[in-house]
Amino acid sequence: MTNEPDASNEILLEMRGIRIDGYSDEQWHPIIKGVDLTLRRGEIMGLIGESGAGKSTLGKAAMGYTQPGCKLTGGSIMFDGIDLAKASDREKRKLWGTRIAYVAQSAAASFNPAHRLIDQTVESSTRRGIRPDAESRADAVELFRALQLPDPETIGSRYPHQVSGGQLQRVMTAMAMSPRPDLIIFDEPTTALDVTTQVEVLAAMRNIVEEFNTAAIYITHDLAVVAQMADFIQVLRYGEEVEQAPTRQMLTKPEMPYTKSLWSVRALEKPEVKGEDIVLSIDHVDAAYGPLKVLHDVSISLPRGRTVAVVGESGSGKSTTARVMTGLLPPLTGTIMFNGEPLPPALKDRSKDQLQRIQMIYQMADTAMNPRQTVETIIGRPLEFYLGLTGKAREERVIELLKMIELDGSFLDRLPSELSGGQKQRICIARALAAKPDIIICDEVTSALDQIVQEGILKLLLRLQKEFNITYLFITHDIATVKAISDEIVVMFEGKVVEQGLKSEILSPPFPEYTQLLLSSVPEMDPDWLTNLLAARSA
Amino acid sequence: MANNALTASCSVRNFKKIDGTRPSVKQGNARLNAVLATILKRLGLGLATLFVVSGIIFSSISMLPGDFSEAVLGQAATQETVAAFRKELGLDKSAPVRYFEWVGSVLQGDLGTSFSGRNASGQDRSRQVSDLVMPRLWNTLFLAGVTALIAVPLALFLGLTAALYRNTAYDRIVNALTLTTISTPEFFVAYILILFLASLWPVFPSLANIDATTDLGERLYRVALPALTLTLVIVAHMMRMTRAAIINLLASPYIEMARLKGASQSEIILKHALPNAWSPIATVIAFNLAYLVVGVVVVEVVFVYPGIGQLMVDAVTSRDIPVVQACALIFAATYILLNLTADIIGIVTNPRLLHPR
Amino acid sequence: MSEQPETYTAAAEVGAVRKRRTRLERAGLLLKSAPPSAWFGMIVVTLYILVAIFADVLAPYGEAEIHPAAFAPWSDEFFFGTDQIGRDVLTRLIYGARNTMGIALATTFLSFLIGGGLGLAAAINRSWLDQALSRFVDVLMAIPSLIFALMLLSIFGSTITSLILIIAVLDSTRVFRLTRAVAVNVAVMDYVEAAKLRGEGLSWIMRREILPNIMPPLVAEFGLRFCFVFLTIAALSFLGVGIQPPTADWGSMVRANASLIQFAKYDMTAAITPLLPAAAIALLTVAVNFIVDWFLQKTSGLRDDK
C-alpha cells in the first residue's frame, strides 16, 4: 500500500483551481480557495487537515457534489473526460453510486432505517443494470465475506439498527464497492469508532480496495491512519494546499513548518516521577446508573503533584470514575479519601473547601462555558465564590490568571463564541486554576482540539503542574497524549481496572491481554504498522 | 470533531459494546411481541387518559356554586323542589359514588337529563341529553368528514410540493398565504366567504340549516361554505406542518447518501423518504383533524349549523351543565382517539420496533 | 500558503472576534437587517400599542355611550357608523384595542409565570415533581383547550377575571412543555454541571446559567402564545361567552353586527363594518407572527412547525 505513485497510470481525476464558497451569517465565505488535485487509476490519496480545513468539502466536490449551503465558484473537475463542474445533475447521477462511490463518516445515520442492508448495498448496481439483481446480491455476500463481516450470508437481511457501528461501516464499504467503481471517497470512515474496532475496519477497507485496484480519496484528520491507507498525502489548511508528497517522504521529511508541527505532539514526552504522598484515593468503588452497573471494584490513588492517566475505550468507565471523584455520582460501595480524611460521597454533602480543592476541565470547552457570560465572569466567579474577591481585586486576579495561560487582559470582555478552540480550553483551565485546587480532573481535554493546539495545551498543563504542584487525573483514549503527560497509568475495560502502575511499567512488556490489544491498536506513524500488526496478530 | 463526543462523555447508552453475531431465530415472534406490547401500552395509556379526563369533566359539576339549584329552578323554587333536584343530581351522595354511577350510565349511552325545561313549580319538561346530542353529533361528523375529504389530500399535496420546491417563489407564496390564514380567526374567514359567496354573489346559502329530512345533495350544498371555511383554516395548518416534517426528513444523512448513490429525485422521495414519513404524516393529520373538531365550534355558530359545537355553546350560555359535560366528553374522546391512532401508525411503521434486535 | 504565523502563540489564534458595540448600536444594526415583513409587523404592533394607550384621547365618544341612531351608516359624525344599539363603531374599535389586547397580554403573562416557572423547576428537579407535573399536563392537554375553556366558563361564569385565569392556566400547559424541553437541554450542559461542582445554589443556576440561555425560544413563544390567546379570547367573545358587554371587544363586535353582511349589495360600507374588528384581529396576529418569524430566524435558524 505504500508504493510510490506510478506516473505511468492513466489520470482518473483531475481537479484544477477548485473554489467553493459556503453560506453563513448571511454572506458567502470562501471554504476552498483554489486547490488542485490529481489522482491516477488505482491510487489512494490521503487528504488530511484539521477541522475547518475544508477536506470534507473538497472530497465531496470530487464527485461534483456540493452540500446545500455551499456552491462551486470556480475550477474544473475532470473525471475520466467528463467535467463534473459543468455536468448536469442527470449526467452526475449516472456516475454517482456506479463509477464514483461515497463512504460517509456516520454509518448509523447514513443508512436508511426502513430498508434491509442488502437492498441498500445493491441499490446502485441494480438501478444502473451493472449486472442482474440476483448476481449483485450474491456478489454482495462475497463482499461481506471479504470484509470479514460475521454471517455474511444472512447479515444483509438485517436492518441498520440491528448491527454495530463497526459492522455498518464495513457494510457501507461493501455498498460502495458493489458496482465496482473507479473511485471511492472515504470521508472519515473510522473516526467514530473505538481504536480496537478501527483496526479491523481499516484492514478490511484496505484489502478490498487493493483487491479491486480501486482509486480512493481517504479523508481524515489522523495522520497515523492515513499513513496506513494512502500512497500519497495532500495536506490542507484553511482551504488551501500546504504540501503534497508520497506517504513515506511526507512522514520522514515534511517540508513545510505546518506539516512538521503536525508531528510535534508525538515528540512531547514527560519523564515520569514516582509520587509518595497520596492526595486522593478511591477504594473498592462500585457505581451504577440506575440498574446499570458501570464500575466494579475500582481502586485508584492520585499522588500529589503527579499525573495519573486513565485510558480505555468508550464504555470502559473512565469518565464515570471522574464523576465518582467529583461527587456527581455517589458510589454504591467503597470509600473516597482526600488528604487522609474520608470525603463525603455525594456532592451536596461536601464542604465549600472540599469542592474548591477538586476542579474539573471538560472535553468540549464549547459546552463547558456559559455562552452568555464573558471571560471575566467565567474566571471571576470562582474567585468571588471561593475567595471572596470582588471589584478591582477580582479583575486584577483574572488578568493575572489570563497571563498564566498565555492570554492577556484584552480577553476580559469576550464571549466564548469569540474565542478559538484552544483559547476556550485555556479559559477553562484558568477557571479551574482560579480556585487554587489540589486536584484538577481533565476529561479528554485535548481530544476535541487540533494537533498543534493540543501540544500547546499539554505544555501549559505541565508548566502549571510544576509551578503549583497540582495533581492531574487525566482521562483520555489517546496513547500519545498519555506518553506526553503522565507519571502513572490506569487501564480500564468494561468498568474494571485492568492494570495500573508507573508509565514505564505499563508501556513495556509483558502486557495483560487487553492492554496489549489496546496499545497495539493505536495507529502509529509508520506506513508498515498495519501490515506488521496484522501479520503479528494472525501469527 | 464528533467522534470525541462519542468516546468521552460518559453516557449510559454508549455502554453496551455491540459486536459479533446476534441470534436471529424467533425474530418473527419477537417482532410481533414488541409491536403488540408497544401498542397495548399506548392503548392503556389512552384509556387511562380518557378515564382521568372523564374524572375532570365530572368533577366540574361538584365545583358548581351552591345556589345553582335556585339559578336553574328560579328564585321562587320551593324547598321541596330544590331538594328533589339536588337528589336527582345525586348531590346527597358522595362524589366517588356519583362518579362511578355517572361513568356507568355514560357507558350505557345515558348522558343524563338536561337542566333546561325545568321551572320553580317542580314541573319538568327537560329532555334526555343523549336525545339532544346524538342527531347533532352526526351533523358535526358529516361536516368534519366533508372537510377532511377535501383538506387532507390538498394539504398533503401542498406541503409536499412546498418542501420539494423549497425556497422557490412557489414555496414563499404558499408560505405567506398560509401564515396569513393561520393568523386569522375562523369567523373572519367565514364572514369574508359569506360576503363574497353568499351576499354579493349568492352562490351558496349563508345559513347551513339542515334537519333529518334533508337529502344528501341538499346537505352538501348547504354545508359548502362551512366546509370551505374549515378547509381553508385546516389546510394552512396542515400544509405548514407537512412541509416542516418533510424538510426535516430530507435533511437526514441517509437522504444525502441516497443522492450520492445516484438516486433520482423521485426515487429519493418514494423509496427513501416515504417509508420513514408515515409516522410524521400521521401525526400531522391526526393533529389537524383534532384541530378540525375544535374549529367546528366557531364555524357552526357562524353558519347556524345544528351541530354539537353550537349545542355546546348554547349550553354554556344557559349553563346547562349536563349538556356541556356530554359535549366536552365527546370532544375530548375524539381528540384522544385521533392522537392514539397517530401514535399507533407511528408504532407499526417504525422499523426499529418492527425489526427488534 | 496562507499568512498564518509559524510559531504558535495562544493569543494569536484566530477566534471570530466581534466588534464591541453598545446595546443601542446592536439594536440599530439588528433593525437595519430586518426584512420588510418584519418592518411591517413592527409598525403595526407599535400602532396598535399607541392606539391602546391613547384610546381615551383618540376615541370620539365614550366607550359605552349610546346614540339614538342604531345601525347608522358611515358618516362624518359616526365614521364607521353605529352598532345595533347605537354605539359609535370607531370608538368601540379603539377601546376594543385596549381591552382585547390588554386582557390577552395579561393572560399570556400569567400563563408564562405559571408554565415557565413550573417548567424550569421540573427541568432542574427531574424527579417526582417533574413526573407529576408532566403527567398532569399530559392529561390537561388531552382535552382541546377551547372545549375545556367553554366548560370551565359555564361553571365559573364569564367574568374577566375567570376568563384570564382559565385561559392562562390552560395555556400554561404549552408554555410548561416548551420551557421544560429547552431548559432540560441546557441543564445537561457541562457549564451547568461545572456550576453544580463549584457548589452554586439552585437559584444561581436557574437565574444565571439556565435562564439567559433559554430566553430566545421563550421570547418567540411569547409572541406565538400571545397570538393564540388573543385568538382564543376573540373566539370566546364571538361565541358570546368571553368578554361581556358593555366592555368594548372586537370578537363580540363581529357577532353583534354580523347580520349587516347580508346587505352588501345595497350598502358595501355596512357589510364591511362587522369585518373591521375581525380584520383588526387578523392584522395584529399576522404582524406578531411576522416579527416572531424574523426573530426565530435571527436566533436559531428555521422555524418550520405550525
Residue B96 to residues A18, B63, B101, B158, Cα–Cα distance (Å): 77, 14, 9, 50
Degrees (nearest 5) of the Cα angle B171, B174, B179?
Answer: 120
Q: Given an 8 Å threshold on Cβ–Cβ distance, is C190 in contact with A418?
A: no
Q: How confident is the model over C37-78, as pLDDT tens digits?
A: 889 999 999 999 999 998 888 888 887 778 887 777 777 777
Q: How confident is the model over A394-428, as pLDDT tens digits?
A: 999 999 999 999 888 888 888 888 888 888 999 99
User: What whole-number percentage of chain C has pLDDT above 70?
Assistant: 90
Give the cell for residue A226: 492515513
Facing B185 at nearest CB: one of C157, C231, C290: C231
Looking at the predicted structure, is the pLDDT value of residue A537 above 90?
no
Mean pLDDT in residue range B265-277: 85
A29 CB near a chain B CB, below 8 Å? no
C194 CB near a chain B CB, below 8 Å? no
Q: How confident is the model at residue A101 (pLDDT cuts 50, 70, 90)?
A: very high
What ipTM was estimated for this complex? Answer: 0.80
Residue C90 to residues A187, C66, C77, C82, C260, Cα–Cα distance (Å): 67, 13, 11, 8, 16
* Higher-scoring residue by pLDDT: B67, B29: B29
Residue C51 to residues C100, C101, C112, C232, Cα–Cα distance (Å): 12, 11, 25, 22
Give burial (CB, 10 Å; 0-12/13-18/19+) of B266.
exposed
A70 CB near a chain B CB, below 8 Å? no
Do B322 and B178 form a contact (C-beta atoms < 8 A)? Answer: no
Q: Given an 8 Å threshold on Cβ–Cβ distance, is C143 in contact with B331?
A: yes
Q: Where in chain A is the domain with CATH 3.40.50.300?
A: 11-267, 278-508
Mean pLDDT in residue range B16-23: 36
Do A30 and A239 form a contact (C-beta atoms < 8 A)? Answer: yes
User: What whole-number percentage of chain C has pLDDT above 90?
Assistant: 21
Residue of A nearest to B3 (CA): A192
The answer to which of A324-328, B229-233, C152-156, C205-209 has the lowest mean pLDDT is: C152-156
The answer to which of A158-167, B202-211, C99-108 has the lowest mean pLDDT is: B202-211
Residue of A nearest to C191 (CA): A368
* Higher-scoring residue by pLDDT: C107, B30: C107
Spatial distance between the Cα atoms of B347 and B31, rounded to a whole number of angstroms: 12
Chains that touch C (3 or more CB pairs under 8 A): A, B
Q: What is the pLDDT of residue A26?
A: 66
Q: What is the pLDDT of residue B9?
A: 31
Which residue shows C-alpha cell 498564566? A404
Give the cell for residue B64: 358548581
Spatial distance between the Cα atoms of C25 and C227, rounded to a whole number of angstroms: 30
Looking at the predicted structure, is the pLDDT value of residue C22 above 70?
no
Spatial distance between the Cα atoms of A428 and A445, rounded to a whole number of angstroms: 10
Q: What is the pLDDT of residue B3?
A: 36
Q: What is the pLDDT of residue C195?
A: 92
Averaged pLDDT of chain C: 82
Q: What is the pLDDT of residue C303?
A: 33
Facing B261 at nearest CB: one of A123, A161, A444: A123
Spatial distance between the Cα atoms of A532 and A538, rounded to a whole number of angstroms: 10
CA dihedral A140, A146, A151, A155 (to 10 degrees): -30
Q: How confident is the model at residue B122 (pLDDT cuts 50, 70, 90)?
A: low
CA dihedral A335, A341, A343, A348 (to 10 degrees): 150
Looking at the predicted structure, is the pLDDT value of residue B283 above 60?
yes
Q: How confident is the model over A190-245, as pLDDT tens digits?
A: 877 788 888 888 888 888 888 888 999 999 888 888 888 899 999 998 888 888 99
Helix/strand/coil (H, E, C) string of A183-234? Answer: EEEEECCCCCCCHHHHHHHHHHHHHHHHHCCCEEEEEECCHHHHHHHCCEEE
Give the cell for residue A229: 491507507
Give the cell for residue A515: 492492554
pTM of the entire predicted model: 0.80
Nearest to A79 by CA among A181, A206, A186: A181
Mean pLDDT in residue range B75-98: 70
Q: How confident is the model over A513-532, as pLDDT tens digits?
A: 888 888 888 888 788 888 88
The answer to which of A122-126, B120-124, C22-26, C223-227 has the lowest mean pLDDT is: B120-124
Report the first-to-last Cα separation within chain B, whole angstroms. 29
Given the DSSP bridges, would you call strands A439-443 and A358-361 parallel, antiparallel or unpaired?
A: parallel
Confirm or reject CATH 3.50.50.60 for domain A278-508, answering yes or no. no
Q: Given an 8 Å threshold on Cβ–Cβ distance, is C10 in contact with A405?
A: yes
Looking at the predicted structure, is the pLDDT value of residue A285 above 70?
yes
Q: How confident is the model over A2-58, as pLDDT tens digits?
A: 444 455 678 899 999 999 988 776 678 888 888 999 999 889 999 988 777 888 889
Q: What is the pLDDT of residue C220?
A: 86
Q: What is the pLDDT of residue A298?
A: 93
Which CATH superfamily, name and number, covers A11-267?
P-loop containing nucleotide triphosphate hydrolases (3.40.50.300)
Q: What is the pLDDT of residue A530?
A: 87
**CATH among 1.10.3720.10, 3.60.21.10, 3.30.390.50, 1.10.460.10 for C36-300:** 1.10.3720.10
Give the cell for residue B126: 327537560
**Cβ count within 10 A of residue B207:** 13
Q: How confident is the model over A309-328, as pLDDT tens digits?
A: 999 887 788 889 999 999 98
Averaged pLDDT of chain B: 78
Q: Which residue pairs, CB below 8 angstroms and at least 24 apart, start in B264-267?
A: B264/A93, B265/B164, B267/A127
User: What whole-number percentage of chain A has pLDDT above 90?
Assistant: 37
Q: Given an 8 Å threshold on Cβ–Cβ distance, is B191 in contact with C278?
A: yes
Do A49 and A239 form a contact (C-beta atoms < 8 A)? Answer: no
Contacts of B262 in chain A (CB under 8 A): 93-98, 124, 127-128
**Cβ count within 10 A of residue A320:** 25
Q: What is the pLDDT of residue B73?
A: 64
Chain B closest CA to C65's CA: distance in Å?
A: 26
Q: Which residues of A424-446 are buried (b: 16+ CB within 10 A; e: fewer)?
A: bbbbbbbbbbbbebbbbbbbbbb
Mean pLDDT in residue range B226-251: 87
Do A244 and A217 form a contact (C-beta atoms < 8 A)? Answer: no
Q: What is the pLDDT of residue A266?
A: 64
Domain residue extents for chain C: 36-300
* Higher-scoring residue by pLDDT: C129, B120: C129
Spatial distance between the Cα atoms of A358 and A354, rounded to a whole number of angstroms: 7
Q: How confident is the model at residue C105 (pLDDT cuts 50, 70, 90)?
A: very high
Interface of C with A (CB under 8 A): 1-2, 4, 6, 8-11, 13-18, 20, 33, 189-191, 193-194, 196-200, 208-209, 212-213
Mean pLDDT in residue range C159-168: 91
Looking at the predicted structure, is the pLDDT value of residue B337 above 80?
yes
Could you give the domains of chain B? 136-354 (1.10.3720.10)
Q: How confident is the model over A59-89, as pLDDT tens digits?
A: 999 999 988 888 889 889 999 888 998 888 8
Facing B254 at nearest CB: one of A94, A111, A197: A111
Q: How confident is the model at residue C1 (pLDDT cuts 50, 70, 90)?
A: very low
Q: How confident is the model over B233-242, as pLDDT tens digits?
A: 888 888 888 8
Mean pLDDT in residue range B63-79: 61
Q: How confident is the model over A323-343, as pLDDT tens digits?
A: 999 998 999 999 999 988 999
Q: What is the pLDDT of residue A396?
A: 93
Looking at the predicted structure, is the pLDDT value of residue A495 above 80?
yes
Contacts of C200 in chain A (CB under 8 A): 385
Mean pLDDT in residue range A138-159: 89
Q: How confident is the model at residue C301 (pLDDT cuts 50, 70, 90)?
A: very low
Q: Given an 8 Å threshold on Cβ–Cβ distance, is A317 in contact with B257?
A: no
Report the first-to-last Cα separation within chain C, whole angstroms. 49
Looking at the predicted structure, is the pLDDT value of residue B22 above 60?
no
